[in-house]
Amino acid sequence: MGEYQNIHVTIEDRIAILTIDHPPANAFDRQTVMELDQAFDEMLNNDEVKVIIITGAGQFAFVAGADINELNKLKGYDDAKEVVLKGQELFNKIEKSPKPVIAAINAVCLGGGNELAMACHIRIASDRARFGQPEINLGIIPGWGGTQRLPRMVGKGKALELLLTGDMITAQEAYRIGLVNKVVPAGQVLKAAKDLARKIASKSKLPIAAILDCVNKGLKMSLEEGLLYEADRFAKLCETEDMREGVRAFLEKRQPKFKDK
């Protein structure tokens, strides 16, 4: 595996854990974004990895947003847009990943951190986590998807309230509005994420990738188009070894032994 300064990578039980470690608040500077991009690519190309977890080091922050010192050094429109597009490219890659990505949100999740979490497929949060898009307090707006993913996830009205006030909300409120999937006690976030990842990793990677693809693409289609796309992916899976194994295992009342083929 590659060596990184601000990202730690571990692999266990076919699960890759990418830990952002950039003290004191795991802020997203250019170095951290670049390393996360490279580490994520490495895990996408690793056939031994079926599920990816992204988390933050320490108890203070998952990711507390962009590096304010770097924002202060932006030289103008072109420089700012380059930074924004790079982050958008990474988060789009995460969202479109054929491997499930789980955000294990251990603490404060603000700005770019919240945008990263929203790009992941599933979000598990500590009961002490706090969420928000505070960019308006700096005289700017979110640039890595906050104005786009947040309203799609929680609805236009609630998203505008959070974006226009810059207020933080609790993990419990984030769960209530649909921003996170599950809230667990502090200290149990990574365990809960690993438990979920193991359950997913026990399935065949072929329908896993097909489900992610159908949902991501289907949300941009009409219902009729989405149903046709789903039918095509279903039919293709019916020609796989894993489909035959899954059906046989069900009829024989045993656990299937998938080969990802």
Residue 237 identity (one-letter amino acid): L
Tokens of 217: 């693409």
Q: How far apart (Å, rounded) are the C-alpha atoms in residues 124 and 132?
A: 16
* Annotated active-site residue in 115, 161, 230, 252: 115
For residue 207, say if its preceding peptide bond is cis, omega within 30 degrees of 0.
Answer: no
* Annotated active-site residue in 82, 135, 241, 245: 135
Tokens of 168: 């933080």
Go through the chain and tell me how many residues it has.
261
Q: Verify whether residue 230 is a known catalytic residue.
A: no
Backbone angles phi, psi at 181, to 5 degrees: -85, -35
Where on the phi/psi map is residue 26: left (φ > 0), alpha (ψ -120 to 50), or beta? Answer: left
Q: Verify whether residue 48 is a known catalytic residue.
A: no
Q: How far is CA 143 from CA 1, 43, 231, in A?
A: 30, 25, 36
- Contact at 8 Å (CB) between 140 and 81? no
Sheet containing 168-170: which strands, arranged edge to edge? 61-63, 108-110, 130-132, 168-170
Helix H or strand E encompassing 234: helix 223-237
Q: How far apart (Å, rounded) are the C-alpha atoms in residues 61 and 55?
A: 9
Alpha helices per DSSP H over 129-204: 146-154, 156-165, 171-176, 189-201
> Which residues are annotated as catalytic?
115, 135
